[in-house]
Chain A
């Protein structure tokens, strides 16, 4: 394979194959790159109900002319031995004003369990404007046997939320973290 091009200027078979293998490796990497890309796109656009974390426009004060109903739901991941529900089913809020509510969780087993809540907001257009300043979902929660906990979530709905949004659903799914899943970042 000393000469890379023959007299007609064509590349050798080996070079063509090598280039194609590089494309294959790049596309295999692209498949994996889709994972962070997907998260970034969801975060930037607020699609998929992934919520913003920090309130940014607290200073402007509440918009007392608007009322939005926030409904709370809670569900359990498959095989999670808990009781899990919101302490109140809904709240009427003004955009721009911080509110706090609680979720109640109880470990039904006789062993120690670590669990984590995964949030979702719908409609997805609202998720960009739904800012949680404090949330039990930010960290893993440890439960002693039979322990029951009240877990707070503090949120502000951004004043710029589109006018047609009259109600928002905040839902959490509560998952038991198995040993291996606990080592996952994020």
Chain B
């Protein structure tokens, strides 16, 4: 290709990264930016995790022990915003940055400078959001859903929250455009769409979801902003508006958002399971179609988040049945993963362990989701700890486990050394035990009627809450094992040297380059048969 030749000529003078700290600020290299996204996401994961532990410490016993209720509400709000927008989403973007160009045989992302810009915008957005913790009136405390009119009563932090949502939205949209352009334009010759690795497919669909719904969120928070400061009344009944309208707009964004956080996870797990089952993925095409169906359905189910606002029966039936329909493509995926493992020569290295735990525990979260899809019973579950249990099952042993699986799977490719399998397995078993200890009891207290987002609770729920708090601290310690015994040694290149293939016959172009992957890969596009 002519463009490649010109690029090669231009690059003759500097083949490696810039020396010194400036490398990390000005870099446009997809591997540098991918690594920075991942480190940023991990940092935010610990920031959000610390907030979760403050919540669990307060809820260890009934009564008020450590924090006042206002600060408690700030913690639930900030924990969600940080984890959703700061940890899970940037982590998947990090994987996309690092792996998608290598998987499709491209030299870099399609728009490398925009890539740098979207990373640093994300960082700025979170500096701004976290700065609200030190403001008069404290950080936002009206819930991550930012429902009007409550959120409009917030203090100085309110406009900072709105603008940080704007910034992270712009950053994510730029990242998504970059990923779409890379996948559509930079695939190696011979790699047709239906030959792409599933991780690339799921990210392509996720990127379209991001582009479609993040602007709607930006619109919703802009309306909040003008309602508060510029005299509009979108959500104020006094001026002819309606607070329920906010919930419709928010969840029109919010439901596709939950698939934004899980579709790339499906991609990672679909990549890992065939390698360790030593069989090709069962039903590749059906996986692609199932992903696309889930993405389409995500646009017509939003009101199942708000069954209790007083919708008419016809609306409740529509949203109930559409929601249940999502179980069909999701079921296709789960059965495909099981069929892939069926009669395979399975081995249980850490990435595989996390992937199998993902399949099992994500299904637990999926089933409680089907329960809540039923409108009549949702009236009991709404805003209780049952929903807290549900979305943590799909997000922690769901999305976060897939991220950890992906990290273990590609870590030797990134660093060139094998991580310690002993510490990997210790990390896995502690994580899987404590995650269940944390979130399973929440089903019980939720069904018994414990409402979410309160700093105190009825003494009847005390035992299960104590168990959940113990689980949460255990889960936190397990993640420190990952940092100190897996990640840091790998970054310091301590461990056995990894081969180019790393695993037993893994599939994908990323395994055809050396470990660690050189700074520039596929400057000459590979031929895909």
- Chain A interface (Cβ within 8 Å of chain B)? 6, 8, 10-13, 16-17, 20-21, 23-25, 27-28, 30-32, 34-35, 38, 42, 45, 47-48, 77, 116, 118, 124-125, 173, 175-177, 179-181, 183-186
Chain A residues closer than 8 Å to B180, beta-carbon distance: 16, 20
- Say yes or no for B331: interface residue by CB 8 A criterion: no
CA–CA, A34 and B235, complex, Å: 12
- Say yes or no for B16: interface residue by CB 8 A criterion: no
Chain B residues closer than 8 Å to A12, beta-carbon distance: 185
The contact string, 1 if C-beta is below 8 Å from chain A, for chain B 235-257, is 01111101011001100100000
By the criterion CB–CB under 8 Å, are B312 and A125 in contact? yes
Min CB distance A126 to B, Å, is 12
A-B contact pairs, 28 of them (CB 8 A): A10-B184, A10-B185, A13-B110, A13-B181, A16-B177, A16-B180, A17-B177, A20-B176, A20-B180, A20-B181, A23-B211, A28-B215, A28-B218, A31-B219, A34-B245, A34-B252, A35-B245, A38-B245, A47-B312, A77-B237, A116-B238, A118-B238, A124-B310, A175-B237, A177-B238, A181-B239, A184-B240, A186-B240
- Say yes or no for B1: interface residue by CB 8 A criterion: yes
By the criterion CB–CB under 8 Å, are A38 and B110 in contact? no
By the criterion CB–CB under 8 Å, are B233 and A173 in contact? no
Residue from A25, A45, A48 in contact with B215 in the complex, judged by beta carbons closer than 8 Å = A25
Chain A contact residues, majority secondary structure: helix
Known: A118-B237, A181-B239. A17 touches B181 (CB 8 A): yes
Chain B residues closer than 8 Å to A30, beta-carbon distance: 215-216, 219
- Say yes or no for B380: interface residue by CB 8 A criterion: no
CA–CA, A174 and B96, complex, Å: 53
- Say yes or no for B234: interface residue by CB 8 A criterion: yes
Residue from B110, B173, B236, B245 in contact with A181 in the complex, judged by beta carbons closer than 8 Å = B236
By the criterion CB–CB under 8 Å, are A17 and B234 in contact? no
By the criterion CB–CB under 8 Å, are A27 and B212 in contact? yes
By the criterion CB–CB under 8 Å, are B212 and A118 in contact? no
Min CB distance A12 to B, Å, is 8
Known: A38-B242, A47-B312, A175-B238. A27 touches B110 (CB 8 A): no
Chain B residues closer than 8 Å to A10, beta-carbon distance: 184-185
CA–CA, A38 and B315, complex, Å: 13
The contact string, 1 if C-beta is below 8 Å from chain A, for chain B 297-341, is 000000000000011100100000000000000000000000000
* Apart from A28-B215, A31-B219: 7 A-B pairs, beta carbons within 8 A: A13-B110, A23-B211, A34-B245, A35-B234, A177-B238, A180-B231, A181-B236
Residues 204-218 of B contacting A (Cβ, < 8 Å): 211-218
By the criterion CB–CB under 8 Å, are A6 and B212 in contact? no
Chain A residues closer than 8 Å to B110, beta-carbon distance: 13, 16
- Say yes or no for B499: interface residue by CB 8 A criterion: no
By the criterion CB–CB under 8 Å, are B249 and A34 in contact? yes
Min CB distance B369 to A, Å, is 25
Q: Number of contacting residues on B, CB 8 A?
A: 43
- Say yes or no for B293: interface residue by CB 8 A criterion: no
By the criterion CB–CB under 8 Å, are A31 and B1 in contact? no
Chain A residues closer than 8 Å to B311, beta-carbon distance: 47
By the criterion CB–CB under 8 Å, are A13 and B249 in contact? no
- Say yes or no for B232: interface residue by CB 8 A criterion: yes
- Chain B interface (Cβ within 8 Å of chain A)? 1, 3, 110-111, 173, 176-177, 180-181, 184-185, 189, 211-220, 223, 230-234, 236-240, 242, 244-245, 248-249, 252, 310-312, 315
By the criterion CB–CB under 8 Å, are A27 and B239 in contact? no
Residue from A24, A31, A177, A181 in contact with B220 in the complex, judged by beta carbons closer than 8 Å = A31
Chain B residues closer than 8 Å to A173, beta-carbon distance: 237
Residue from A21, A28, A184 in contact with B239 in the complex, judged by beta carbons closer than 8 Å = A184
Min CB distance A120 to B, Å, is 9
Chain A residues closer than 8 Å to B248, beta-carbon distance: 34, 38
Chain A residues closer than 8 Å to B232, beta-carbon distance: 184
Min CB distance A173 to B, Å, is 6
CA–CA, A126 and B409, complex, Å: 60
CA–CA, A35 and B216, complex, Å: 12
By the criterion CB–CB under 8 Å, are B312 and A21 in contact? no
By the criterion CB–CB under 8 Å, are A13 and B111 in contact? yes
CA–CA, A118 and B241, complex, Å: 10
Chain B residues closer than 8 Å to A21, beta-carbon distance: 177
Residue among B176, B184, B242 with the highest chain A CB neighbour number at 10 A: B242
Can you name the residue of chain B whose Cβ is closest to the Cβ of A16? B181
Chain A residues closer than 8 Å to B212, beta-carbon distance: 23, 27
By the criterion CB–CB under 8 Å, are A31 and B218 in contact? yes
By the criterion CB–CB under 8 Å, are B315 and A27 in contact? no
Min CB distance B255 to A, Å, is 14
Chain B residues closer than 8 Å to A47, beta-carbon distance: 311-312, 315
CA–CA, A7 and B429, complex, Å: 52
Chain A residues closer than 8 Å to B220, beta-carbon distance: 31
CA–CA, A124 and B311, complex, Å: 9
Min CB distance B187 to A, Å, is 9
Can you name the residue of chain A whose Cβ is closest to the Cβ of B173? A24
Min CB distance B40 to A, Å, is 23
Can you name the residue of chain B whose Cβ is closest to the Cβ of A18? B177
Residue among A6, A12, A118, A176 with the highest chain B CB neighbour number at 10 A: A118
Chain A residues closer than 8 Å to B236, beta-carbon distance: 181
By the criterion CB–CB under 8 Å, are A20 and B177 in contact? yes
Chain A residues closer than 8 Å to B230, beta-carbon distance: 180
CA–CA, A96 and B321, complex, Å: 38
In the A-B complex, the 5 residue pairs with the smallest Cβ-Cβ separation, listed nearest first, are A31-B219, A180-B231, A175-B238, A28-B215, A27-B215
CA–CA, A8 and B238, complex, Å: 59
By the criterion CB–CB under 8 Å, are B111 and A17 in contact? yes
Min CB distance A21 to B, Å, is 7
Chain A residues closer than 8 Å to B231, beta-carbon distance: 179-181, 183-184
Chain A residues closer than 8 Å to B213, beta-carbon distance: 27
Chain B residues closer than 8 Å to A27, beta-carbon distance: 211-216
